[in-house]
Amino acid sequence: MTHPLRVALIRGDGIGIDVANAAIAVVDASLARVGAPALEYDDIDAGAGYFAETGLDIEPGGEERAGEADAIFLGAIGLPAIRHEDGTEISPHLRLRDRFQLYAGVRPVKAYPNAPQRLADPRAANLDMVILRESTEGLFYSAAVHGRFVASGDEEVRETLRISRATTEKLHRFAFKLAERRKARGKSARLTCVDKANVFASMAFFRKIFDETKAEYPEIAVGYNYVDAMALDLVRKPWEFDVMVMENMFGDILSDLAGGLVGGMGMAACGEIGDHTGLFQPAHGSAPDIMGQDKANPLAAILSGAMMLDYLSDKSGDKKLEAAAELIERAVDAGFGENALRPMEFGGDMGTEAVTAELLRRVEAG
């Protein structure tokens, strides 16, 4: 690409503003350190705070500008006290997922030295796996733009769960390619299909398409787990899993569970990737109870920024961006290893600014 890579930047609400600023600072420093061109940012107003001021959840033309960018970076959206009349929170990011068909929700789960280990087994210290959550269909299909059926008399609500062949085929191919990439990097690369195929026809269909797709990737070992058993196994023996692919709501729940195994949601990076663009954000919420207090852990956002650089490297062909992503990941790993990263989320003494400053020092030093 000859033009500067452009990122649509939605800082959002609450701590989303602080962690987005931290992520962009570290991303920019890593690019400068490896000699890569700077990114161009297009700030877009969106979120619950913007809704309270204007009655809109995203500024006019904001969705179109987000789609025109090479990637989207989001801090966090939503404030519990500001809701639609039906009680649901302000969530334009769900509409962005649907509009741009960001079907592959990539949720890395990685343990770091000196970060909290919730499981006593020493094998938990080496957790390194990925939950791949379909992000446009499933039980969230109704929540984006497709509406809900509410019976008259305030007696019943129904939601639509959708599993389509077109989207599920793309999701499973993404999953197998992700497993191939991890295998090339020395990971176990076992791919597990997580569903509830013993009860729901939609889940049996999801598994059927998985089985059809696996024939194209004979070198990748596969497994199966019902979602309830998967929740148990993530507590009992998570080190036996590498990549897990699943429906939207299942992934929403299990990725939070898995995040808890490696410290908390302050470590939960996320990428939502489609055929033409990707959205990157920390998987945590806006945490209004600590907004503006310099207490937020910015690492989920910073690691999401590294994921964005990796994505942009593939998209542009510029390997310097991949080097910048690796620089950030090494800085986080070494920072924890030397006990130089001590987020308040983990009972440490470092707030948002201190964690960011430590990572900037390490990235700038290379």
pLDDT at residue 126 tops 70: yes
Please choose, from the candidates 351, 269, 365, 356, the residue with its C-alpha nearest in 3D space to the C-alpha of residue 309: 269
Q: How confident is the model at residue 228 (pLDDT cuts 50, 70, 90)?
A: very high
User: CATH says 1-102+270-366 is which class?
Assistant: alpha beta
Q: How confident is the model at residue 181 (pLDDT cuts 50, 70, 90)?
A: very high
pLDDT of 189 = 86
- Residue span(s) of the chain under CATH 3.40.718.10 come to 1-102+270-366, 117-261
Q: What is the pLDDT of residues 256-282, one digit of tens each?
A: 999 999 988 899 999 999 999 999 999
For domain 117-261, which CATH number applies: 3.40.718.10, 3.40.50.300, 3.40.50.720, 3.40.50.2020? Answer: 3.40.718.10
Q: What percent of the chain has pLDDT over 90?
A: 85
pLDDT of 160 = 85
Residues with catalytic function: 141, 196, 228, 252, 256
Please choose, from the candidates 297, 282, 310, 293, the residue with its C-alpha nearest in 3D space to the C-alpha of residue 342: 297
Average pLDDT over residues 148-154: 58
Which token pair is 194? 């997580």
pLDDT at residue 294 tops 70: yes
Q: How confident is the model at residue 145 (pLDDT cuts 50, 70, 90)?
A: low
Question: Distance between alpha carbon 315 and the CA centroid of its chain, in Å?
Answer: 18
Angle, helices 299-316 vs 352-365, to 10°: value is: 40
pLDDT of 153 = 63
Average pLDDT over residues 302-315: 97
Cα 324 to Cα 310: distance, rounded to the nearest angstrom: 8
The reported pTM is: 0.93
Question: Can you name the residues that pair with 278 across neighbouring β-strands?
Answer: 273
pLDDT of 87 = 81
* Lookup result for tokens 């420093």: 29
Average pLDDT over residues 210-226: 97
Which token pair is 341? 């990263």
pLDDT at residue 146 tops 70: no
pLDDT at residue 86 tops 80: no
